[in-house]
Amino acid sequence: MMTKILVVDDDANISELLRMYLEKEGYEVKTAADGVEGITTFRMYEPDLVLLDIMMPKKDGWQVCREIREHSSKPIIMLTAKGETIDKVLGLELGADDFIVKPFDMKEVFARIKAVLRRYAKHETGDGELIKFDNIEISLQKYELRIKGKTIDLPPKELELLYFLAANYNRVFTRDQLLDKVWGFDYLGDSRTVDVHIKRLREKLDGASDKWSLKTVWGVGYKFDVASEQ
Protein backbone atom coordinates (compact mmCIF):
# COMPACT_ATOMS: atom_id res chain seq x y z
CA MET A 1 0.00 0.00 0.00
CA MET A 2 1.33 3.43 -0.94
CA THR A 3 2.13 5.91 1.81
CA LYS A 4 -0.38 8.76 1.68
CA ILE A 5 0.78 12.35 2.17
CA LEU A 6 -1.41 15.43 2.51
CA VAL A 7 0.13 18.77 1.47
CA VAL A 8 -1.66 21.81 2.96
CA ASP A 9 -0.32 25.05 1.45
CA ASP A 10 -2.00 28.08 -0.12
CA ASP A 11 0.87 28.51 -2.58
CA ALA A 12 -0.25 26.51 -5.60
CA ASN A 13 3.28 26.38 -7.05
CA ILE A 14 4.73 24.84 -3.89
CA SER A 15 1.87 22.36 -3.58
CA GLU A 16 2.26 21.26 -7.18
CA LEU A 17 6.04 20.97 -6.84
CA LEU A 18 5.71 18.81 -3.75
CA ARG A 19 2.99 16.68 -5.31
CA MET A 20 5.02 16.08 -8.47
CA TYR A 21 8.23 15.10 -6.68
CA LEU A 22 6.52 13.05 -3.96
CA GLU A 23 4.52 11.06 -6.49
CA LYS A 24 7.72 10.46 -8.43
CA GLU A 25 9.17 8.96 -5.22
CA GLY A 26 6.23 6.59 -4.93
CA TYR A 27 3.96 8.46 -2.50
CA GLU A 28 0.25 9.01 -2.98
CA VAL A 29 -0.48 12.74 -2.58
CA LYS A 30 -3.46 15.01 -2.07
CA THR A 31 -3.31 18.79 -1.68
CA ALA A 32 -5.38 21.42 0.10
CA ALA A 33 -5.22 25.18 -0.50
CA ASP A 34 -6.19 26.50 2.94
CA GLY A 35 -6.62 25.44 6.55
CA VAL A 36 -10.33 24.63 6.37
CA GLU A 37 -9.87 22.48 3.28
CA GLY A 38 -6.87 20.90 4.98
CA ILE A 39 -8.92 19.73 7.98
CA THR A 40 -11.71 18.41 5.75
CA THR A 41 -9.28 16.55 3.47
CA PHE A 42 -7.39 15.11 6.45
CA ARG A 43 -10.57 13.56 7.83
CA MET A 44 -11.63 12.10 4.49
CA TYR A 45 -8.22 11.09 3.13
CA GLU A 46 -6.67 9.79 6.39
CA PRO A 47 -3.06 10.44 5.29
CA ASP A 48 0.01 8.83 6.82
CA LEU A 49 1.78 12.20 7.07
CA VAL A 50 0.92 15.90 6.68
CA LEU A 51 3.11 18.64 5.21
CA LEU A 52 1.52 21.74 6.71
CA ASP A 53 2.19 25.38 5.84
CA ILE A 54 1.91 27.91 8.68
CA MET A 55 0.72 31.12 6.98
CA MET A 56 -2.59 30.29 5.28
CA PRO A 57 -6.04 31.86 4.88
CA LYS A 58 -9.19 30.80 6.79
CA LYS A 59 -7.19 28.73 9.30
CA ASP A 60 -3.45 28.98 9.78
CA GLY A 61 -1.12 26.03 10.27
CA TRP A 62 -1.18 26.37 14.06
CA GLN A 63 -4.96 25.98 14.16
CA VAL A 64 -4.87 23.04 11.75
CA CYS A 65 -2.13 21.31 13.75
CA ARG A 66 -4.10 21.80 16.97
CA GLU A 67 -7.28 20.34 15.47
CA ILE A 68 -5.50 17.35 13.97
CA ARG A 69 -3.84 16.60 17.30
CA GLU A 70 -7.22 16.52 19.03
CA HIS A 71 -8.03 13.33 17.12
CA SER A 72 -4.85 11.93 15.58
CA SER A 73 -1.16 11.31 16.24
CA LYS A 74 -0.25 11.06 12.55
CA PRO A 75 3.08 12.82 11.79
CA ILE A 76 2.97 16.53 10.96
CA ILE A 77 5.87 18.40 9.36
CA MET A 78 5.41 22.18 9.39
CA LEU A 79 6.45 24.31 6.40
CA THR A 80 7.62 27.75 7.48
CA ALA A 81 9.15 30.70 5.67
CA LYS A 82 10.39 32.23 8.88
CA GLY A 83 12.55 29.58 10.48
CA GLU A 84 12.36 31.44 13.77
CA THR A 85 12.82 29.70 17.11
CA ILE A 86 9.44 30.91 18.35
CA ASP A 87 7.73 29.18 15.42
CA LYS A 88 9.46 25.91 16.19
CA VAL A 89 8.70 26.09 19.90
CA LEU A 90 5.02 26.85 19.28
CA GLY A 91 4.78 24.09 16.69
CA LEU A 92 6.35 21.55 19.05
CA GLU A 93 4.01 22.58 21.83
CA LEU A 94 1.07 21.97 19.50
CA GLY A 95 2.41 18.54 18.55
CA ALA A 96 4.33 19.04 15.29
CA ASP A 97 6.98 16.41 14.61
CA ASP A 98 9.45 18.43 12.53
CA PHE A 99 10.00 21.63 10.51
CA ILE A 100 11.13 22.48 7.00
CA VAL A 101 12.14 26.08 6.27
CA LYS A 102 11.27 27.59 2.89
CA PRO A 103 12.87 27.73 0.41
CA PHE A 104 13.72 24.06 0.76
CA ASP A 105 15.65 21.45 -1.16
CA MET A 106 13.65 18.36 -2.15
CA LYS A 107 16.40 16.10 -0.83
CA GLU A 108 15.85 17.62 2.60
CA VAL A 109 12.09 17.13 2.28
CA PHE A 110 12.54 13.45 1.43
CA ALA A 111 15.03 12.95 4.26
CA ARG A 112 12.73 14.49 6.85
CA ILE A 113 9.67 12.59 5.61
CA LYS A 114 11.52 9.28 5.75
CA ALA A 115 12.95 10.01 9.20
CA VAL A 116 9.57 10.99 10.65
CA LEU A 117 7.80 7.99 9.09
CA ARG A 118 10.47 5.63 10.49
CA ARG A 119 9.95 7.05 13.96
CA TYR A 120 6.19 6.81 13.64
CA ALA A 121 6.42 3.18 12.48
CA LYS A 122 8.07 2.38 15.81
CA HIS A 123 5.05 3.91 17.56
CA GLU A 124 2.72 1.57 15.72
CA THR A 125 4.71 -1.56 16.62
CA GLY A 126 5.70 -0.65 20.17
CA ASP A 127 7.41 -3.56 21.89
CA GLY A 128 8.21 -2.11 25.31
CA GLU A 129 7.17 -3.55 28.67
CA LEU A 130 4.90 -1.83 31.15
CA ILE A 131 6.74 0.50 33.54
CA LYS A 132 5.18 1.25 36.92
CA PHE A 133 6.04 3.74 39.62
CA ASP A 134 3.92 5.37 42.30
CA ASN A 135 0.61 6.45 40.69
CA ILE A 136 1.94 6.04 37.15
CA GLU A 137 1.95 3.34 34.47
CA ILE A 138 3.68 3.77 31.10
CA SER A 139 3.00 1.25 28.33
CA LEU A 140 4.98 1.46 25.12
CA GLN A 141 3.06 -1.55 23.81
CA LYS A 142 -0.24 0.32 24.02
CA TYR A 143 1.31 3.80 23.79
CA GLU A 144 -0.60 4.68 26.92
CA LEU A 145 0.08 6.70 30.07
CA ARG A 146 -2.05 6.20 33.15
CA ILE A 147 -1.85 8.45 36.20
CA LYS A 148 -3.77 7.35 39.28
CA GLY A 149 -5.72 4.98 37.04
CA LYS A 150 -6.73 7.68 34.57
CA THR A 151 -5.55 7.54 30.96
CA ILE A 152 -3.68 10.69 29.92
CA ASP A 153 -3.43 11.64 26.25
CA LEU A 154 0.17 12.08 25.09
CA PRO A 155 1.65 12.56 21.63
CA PRO A 156 3.79 9.52 20.76
CA LYS A 157 7.11 11.35 21.10
CA GLU A 158 6.27 12.64 24.57
CA LEU A 159 5.40 9.13 25.67
CA GLU A 160 8.59 7.70 24.18
CA LEU A 161 10.67 10.30 25.98
CA LEU A 162 8.96 9.64 29.31
CA TYR A 163 9.25 5.87 28.82
CA PHE A 164 12.96 6.08 28.05
CA LEU A 165 13.74 8.26 31.06
CA ALA A 166 11.59 6.13 33.40
CA ALA A 167 13.16 2.91 32.10
CA ASN A 168 16.55 4.40 32.97
CA TYR A 169 15.47 6.13 36.18
CA ASN A 170 18.01 8.07 38.26
CA ARG A 171 20.35 8.22 35.27
CA VAL A 172 21.14 11.61 33.76
CA PHE A 173 20.99 12.09 29.97
CA THR A 174 22.16 15.10 28.00
CA ARG A 175 19.86 16.67 25.43
CA ASP A 176 21.96 15.26 22.60
CA GLN A 177 21.78 11.77 24.12
CA LEU A 178 18.00 12.02 24.34
CA LEU A 179 17.78 13.22 20.75
CA ASP A 180 19.83 10.19 19.73
CA LYS A 181 17.98 7.64 21.86
CA VAL A 182 14.41 8.89 21.46
CA TRP A 183 14.31 10.79 18.16
CA GLY A 184 16.99 8.78 16.37
CA PHE A 185 20.42 9.68 15.05
CA ASP A 186 18.92 10.96 11.79
CA TYR A 187 16.74 13.56 13.51
CA LEU A 188 17.41 16.96 11.99
CA GLY A 189 16.09 19.10 14.84
CA ASP A 190 17.97 20.71 17.74
CA SER A 191 18.24 20.29 21.50
CA ARG A 192 15.42 22.76 22.21
CA THR A 193 13.09 20.01 21.03
CA VAL A 194 13.91 18.10 24.22
CA ASP A 195 13.28 21.14 26.43
CA VAL A 196 9.83 21.68 24.90
CA HIS A 197 8.80 18.05 25.37
CA ILE A 198 10.05 17.99 28.97
CA LYS A 199 8.05 21.15 29.69
CA ARG A 200 4.89 19.61 28.28
CA LEU A 201 5.42 16.37 30.20
CA ARG A 202 5.89 18.23 33.48
CA GLU A 203 2.60 20.03 32.99
CA LYS A 204 0.79 16.72 32.53
CA LEU A 205 2.62 14.96 35.39
CA ASP A 206 2.17 17.81 37.87
CA GLY A 207 0.96 16.55 41.25
CA ALA A 208 1.01 12.88 40.24
CA SER A 209 3.45 11.79 42.97
CA ASP A 210 6.06 13.06 45.42
CA LYS A 211 8.13 9.90 45.02
CA TRP A 212 9.44 10.66 41.52
CA SER A 213 9.85 13.62 39.19
CA LEU A 214 11.33 14.78 35.90
CA LYS A 215 14.40 16.57 37.19
CA THR A 216 16.69 19.04 35.46
CA VAL A 217 20.37 18.52 36.20
CA TRP A 218 21.67 21.99 35.43
CA GLY A 219 24.47 22.10 32.90
CA VAL A 220 23.95 18.44 32.02
CA GLY A 221 20.44 17.39 31.08
CA TYR A 222 17.45 15.53 32.51
CA LYS A 223 16.58 12.42 34.50
CA PHE A 224 13.57 10.58 35.90
CA ASP A 225 14.38 11.00 39.55
CA VAL A 226 13.04 8.36 41.94
CA ALA A 227 13.32 9.32 45.60
CA SER A 228 13.16 5.75 46.85
CA GLU A 229 12.83 2.30 45.35
CA GLN A 230 9.21 1.65 44.40
CATH 1.10.10.10 in the chain is located at 155-226
- Pair 80, 100: CB distance under 8 Å: yes
* Tens-level pLDDT at each residue, the chain (230 residues): 789 999 999 999 999 999 999 999 999 999 999 999 999 999 999 999 999 998 898 899 989 998 998 888 788 998 887 656 566 667 777 778 888 888 888 988 998 898 888 777 665 545 557 889 999 999 877 778 999 989 998 888 888 899 999 989 999 999 888 887 887 655 556 678 889 899 999 999 999 999 999 999 998 999 999 986 54
| CATH fit for domain 155-226, picks 3.40.50.720, 2.30.130.30, 1.20.1600.10, 1.10.10.10 | 1.10.10.10
Burial category of 29 from C-beta neighbours within 10 Å (exposed 0-12, middle 13-18, buried 19 and up): buried
d(Cα 109, Cα 128) in Å, to the nearest integer? 30
Task: Classify domain 4-124 by CATH number.
Answer: 3.40.50.2300
d(Cα 167, Cα 39) in Å, to the nearest integer? 37
CATH 3.40.50.2300 in the chain is located at 4-124
Cα of 68 vs its chain's centroid, Å? 12
Q: In the prediction, which pLDDT does 230 show? A: 47
- Pair 155, 65: CB distance under 8 Å: no
Q: In the prediction, which pLDDT does 228 show? A: 62
Q: In the prediction, which pLDDT does 122 show? A: 60
